Amino acid sequence: MSRAPRNQAPEVPFGFRDVAPGEKPGLVRGVFGSVAQRYDLMNDLMSGGIHRLWKRAMIDTLNPRKGWTLVDLAGGTGDISFAFLERVAGDGRALICDLTPGMLAVGRDRALDRGILKGVEWIAGAAENIPLDNGSADAVTIAFGLRNVTDMDAALGEAHRILKPGGRFLCLEFSRCNLPGLDKLYELYSFHVLPRLGAAVTGDADAYRYLVESIRRFPPQEELARRFEKAGFARVDWRNLSAGIAALHWGWRV
């Protein structure tokens, strides 16, 4: 089962401010509980639907096989797990672990709406302390969730722990735009448009202000790759998506 938590830093980032480690999970649950019902709509609006292409790239890179068990961390509303089950024609198992019960509730409703009645399980829990045995998963994924965990290195270690030898961990996350000109436009859009859009659609501008701030404090591509290696992953690599606005990282447990 999951490991005992390691010693944590005295403060951890929550957007642009630092908070006590014990405070962050509740703050994150508050953010995502507030926007859960409109979370998928906001993803479409704020990315122009491009997040769907990024998630498709994640599944294409994973190239799952029938009979696999996938653990999707911060998987809330189910996008990655549903795409996985579709790719394996229902012959697989998706375990969705998310810190926020409200996100899991939306995901369950979406599964019922799609007629997905088997092959998916819902777990309320933190990525730093996954309630699964060692070597439980053929693959582990996390999409736009790693920047929200309290202890990123502990979460990476847990992903490594629950993978079977030969299994792969994939992380899709916002990253550093590397196209001159576009980076400035993206900065203006992020800080001035997204919070207003969030206020109009979800009634919570602060949630999307936090989103932008958390992206700015997330490690750049090269640093995140080094942290994968520190956690024990081998053959670590990444691929920039949309000029680095998002990046897909992966590593293997050998």
Specify whether the CB–CB gap between 129 and 155 falls below 8 A: no
Structural domains for the chain: 12-252 (3.40.50.150)
What are the C-alpha distances in Å from 213 to residues 13, 95, 98? 10, 29, 21
Reading across the β-sheet that carries 93-98, which strands appear in turn?
120-124, 93-98, 69-73, 137-143, 163-174, 246-252, 234-241
48-102, pLDDT tens digit by residue?
899 999 999 999 999 999 999 999 999 989 999 999 999 999 999 999 999 999 9
Largest Cα span, the chain: 48
Neighbours of 217 (CB within 10 A): 12
Specify whether the CB–CB gap between 108 and 117 falls below 8 A: no
pLDDT of residue 4: 42
Using DSSP's 3-state secondary structure scheme, residue 197 falls into: helix
98-151, pLDDT tens digit by residue?
999 999 999 999 999 999 989 999 999 999 999 999 999 999 999 999 999 999
Neighbours of 134 (CB within 10 A): 13
The dihedral over CA atoms of 157, 163, 164, 167, expressed in degrees to the nearest 10, equals -110
